[in-house]
Structure 1
Amino acid sequence: MSDLNVLFRNRIGFSTNEPLTFHQLDTVLELTAKSIPFENLCIMAKQTRELSKENLIDRIIIHNEGGLCYDLNPLLYFFLKENGFDAALVRAVLYDHHGQRWNPLGKTHVAIVITHQGQPYLVDTGFGGNLPLKPVPLSGEVVASTNGEFRVEKIDHEQGEYFFYLKLKHKDKEWKVGYAFDATNVIKDVSELHEVQEMILEHADSPFNKKPLLTRLTDRGNMTLTEGSFVEWLDGRVDKQEVDEKQFKEMAAERFGVRVFEGEPGEGSSSPKC
């Protein structure tokens, strides 16, 4: 068993003593979502590193950090490949429901498509609180997990050949579009994602370079920390509290396992191994 295989399993609390099967991916996705936070502290600190397998292992596994989609899904992709899965990284364009438009940055979301017994599935552990905790078939079939329902439909659209839809438990009454993607336009090397990282870091329309954000799924819902508030969903009930700079750093460490350096949130703060 490779170092990544052992380290990733230990990071999420999955057994190191058994082969990983397709039917165990539900467990892996849920453990990953509850163990590794979706966070942008390196972007806010403007301290990014080259995207490589080694750097992702160092930052997310060795130093217990989180990351954005272009960090989390490539790491999961490497793990799946080492466990014998037919996996590929793909790029997607997010739908901005607040602005009622497709994200002007284009295809800056990164996801995974795996093929099992001839059937393609979408896998995503880098979509914040909107994660499907199961592989989602590209056939249109609805899958349900503890946090909601999800489906992927083939659609003839200029933004992509497939739309990913979601209906989150306790939050959404109707289906909504998450993003569009092409399953066959795959990323050949993780270094290609440097362009995505740069756009997230620098672009005026980037949703992740404005204020610090940490979010993670929990056994009873999810929790989100920003520089001004901590919001926690527990069994459909929402609790919100204001936080100051000191509380932000404390909660980042205590609730998300991420250490924040000295400095204002979003102004020089960083995680240890950006």
Structure 2
Amino acid sequence: MSELNALFRKRIGMPENETITFDTLDRLLDLTALAIPFENLCVTDERTSVISRQSIMEKILIRNEGGLCYELNPMLYFFLLENGFDAHLIRGVVYRHDVGEYYTIGRTHATILLTHEGQTYLLDTGFGSNLPLKPVPLTGETVSSRNGEFRIKKEQTEYGDYVLEMKLRHKDTDWRIGYTFDSQKLVTDETELNEIQTIIADHEQSPFNKSPLLTQLTERGNVTLTNSSFTQWVDGVMTKETIDEERFKKLAKQHFGL
């Protein structure tokens, strides 16, 4: 077993001798979401490094940090390859609900397509608290998890040929767009991940280079931390606390291990 395979299993609490099958991907995705936070501290602290298999492994599995989509999904992708799955990285464009259109700064969302028995599925562990927690088929079929309902619609957009839609549990009453992606444009080189990181870190319209954001699913909901607030969802009930810098550091350590 490779170092990456062993370290990933240790980080999420999955035994080394457990065989990963398509039927156990739900559990794998759930354990990953519970163990590894979505966070942008490397970006806001201006300490990004060149993205590679080794650098991602060191950041997430050795230093036990979290990351953004271009780190979290490649990490899962490498693990899936190690365990015999037919997986590919792709890029997508996230939908901006505040203005009703897709981001125009480029294909900055990295995610995974996996093929099993002739069927293609989307897997995503790098979309903040909007995680399906299950493989989502490209057939349009709705999948349900403790985080809500998710489906993929075949729709030609300016940026791709499919759209991920979601209805988050306790939060959404109607379907809303997550992101669009191009199923034909596979990421074949790590330079593409570095291109995403550069946009996220440097572009004036990037949503992740202004202030800290940490979010993670929990057994009963999710937690989100910024430099000014701490929000918890527990069994559908939200509480929000205004915080200062000292409280931020304490909560980052307590809830995210950072």
The TM-score normalised by the length of structure 2 is 0.99
Superposed CA deviations along residues 59-118 of structure 1, whole A, max 9, x for unmatched, are 111011000000000000000000000000000001100111110112100000000001
Alpha-carbon distance between aligned partners in 1 of 2:21 and 2:190, rounded to the nearest angstrom: 24
- Alignment match, 1:56: 56
Alpha-carbon distance between aligned partners in 1 of 2:252 and 2:12, rounded to the nearest angstrom: 18
Helix, strand or coil at the partner of 2:194: helix
- Alignment match, 1:6: 6
Alpha-carbon distance between aligned partners in 2 of 1:34 and 1:242, rounded to the nearest angstrom: 24
- Alignment match, 1:219: 219
- Alignment match, 1:30: 30
Query: Which 10-residue stretch deviates more, 191-200 or 90-99?
Result: 191-200
Helix, strand or coil at the partner of 2:133: coil
Alpha-carbon distance between aligned partners in 1 of 2:190 and 2:27, rounded to the nearest angstrom: 25
Superposed CA deviations along residues 190-212 of structure 1, whole A, max 9, x for unmatched, are 23211110000011110001110
1:205 aligned partner, one-letter code = Q
- Alignment match, 2:163: 163
Helix, strand or coil at the partner of 2:20: coil
Superposed CA deviations along residues 22-58 of structure 1, whole A, max 9, x for unmatched, are 1111001011111100000010011110101111111
Aligned counterparts, 1:59-208, within 5 A:
59-208=59-208
Aligned counterparts, 1:220-235, within 5 A:
220-235=220-235
Helix, strand or coil at the partner of 2:42: helix
Deviation at 1:158, TM superposition (A): 2.1
Alpha-carbon distance between aligned partners in 2 of 1:88 and 1:222, rounded to the nearest angstrom: 28
- Alignment match, 2:255: 255
2:196 aligned partner, one-letter code = V
Alpha-carbon distance between aligned partners in 1 of 2:230 and 2:249, rounded to the nearest angstrom: 12
Alpha-carbon distance between aligned partners in 2 of 1:36 and 1:8, rounded to the nearest angstrom: 10
Supply the RMSD in Å over aligned alpha carbons: 0.7
1:133 aligned partner, one-letter code = L
Matched, 1:244 2:244: yes
Helix, strand or coil at the partner of 1:132: coil
Deviation at 1:251, TM superposition (A): 0.8
Runs of 4+ in 1 over 3 A off after TM superposition: none
- Alignment match, 1:47: 47
Alpha-carbon distance between aligned partners in 1 of 2:99 and 2:155, rounded to the nearest angstrom: 22
Alpha-carbon distance between aligned partners in 1 of 2:208 and 2:150, rounded to the nearest angstrom: 24
Alpha-carbon distance between aligned partners in 2 of 1:174 and 1:223, rounded to the nearest angstrom: 22
Alpha-carbon distance between aligned partners in 1 of 2:128 and 2:158, rounded to the nearest angstrom: 25
Alpha-carbon distance between aligned partners in 1 of 2:186 and 2:148, rounded to the nearest angstrom: 27
Contact 1:74 1:190 in 2 (8 A): no
Q: Give the percent of matched residue pairs that are identical in Structure 1 and Structure 2.
A: 55
1:72 aligned partner, one-letter code = L
Higher relative contact order (CA 8 A, sep 6+): 1
Alpha-carbon distance between aligned partners in 2 of 1:156 and 1:42, rounded to the nearest angstrom: 34
The TM-score normalised by the length of structure 1 is 0.93
Alpha-carbon distance between aligned partners in 2 of 1:195 and 1:157, rounded to the nearest angstrom: 22
